[in-house]
Amino acid sequence: MPKFKLRHVLVCEEVRREVSGKDMLLGVFEDTIVVQSMPAVIDRLFFRIAIDCDPSYNDDYSFSVVSPDKQELIEGSGKALAPPEGNKNRLFGFAMRNFPAQLEGEYEIRFALNTKPKKIWSFTVRLPGNSLEQERLARAAF
């Protein structure tokens, strides 16, 4: 089982590739997503995982997001592509439309190389905790 070092996990609403080759991340969440009501459907979420691993590794990876009640909401797998010459950093991106946030609580992001995914990160989905958050969500709704 190949080992890897987690560099970062980002959860956002969208990623756009610029002509220059840079990625523009839009609607980046910290570790909490506040929704107006439960259950909620989040229009779109993008999960970006960066790891360091042996540059020669080009075998299987797997990914999943698990709800607070341990239901697998999204899963993906495939072959890891070799990084650019001299770079150990690998990026993996997973997008989901209509993300079903049925429960408040912690959602686990799981990832693995050549084995069953394990928790590498998590985020919380919750209702507004104060009037400022309620107002912010009301202004953002269209």
Residue 54 predicted with pLDDT over 80? no
Architecture field, domain 4-128: Sandwich (2.60)
User: Domain locations in the chain?
Assistant: 4-128
Q: φ and ψ at 58, to 5 degrees?
A: -145, 50
- How large is the average pLDDT for residues 125-136? 93
pLDDT over 60 (residue 140)? yes
Residue 121 pLDDT more than 90?
yes
User: Bridge-partner residues for 75, per DSSP?
Assistant: 64
Give the chain's count of helices (H) and strands (E).
1, 10
Q: Give 63's pLDDT tier (boundaries 50, 70, 90).
A: very high
- At 11-40, the pLDDT tens digits run 999 999 899 988 899 999 999 999 999 999
Task: Report pTM.
Answer: 0.88
pLDDT in tens, 72-92: 999 988 887 777 776 767 888
pLDDT of amino acid 115: 82
For residues 130 and 104, what is the distance between their CA atoms, to the nearest angstrom? 16
For the chain, what percent of residues have pLDDT higher than 70? Answer: 93
At 71, is the pLDDT very low, low, confident or very high (cuts 50, 70, 90)? very high
**Mean local confidence (pLDDT), 89-96:** 87
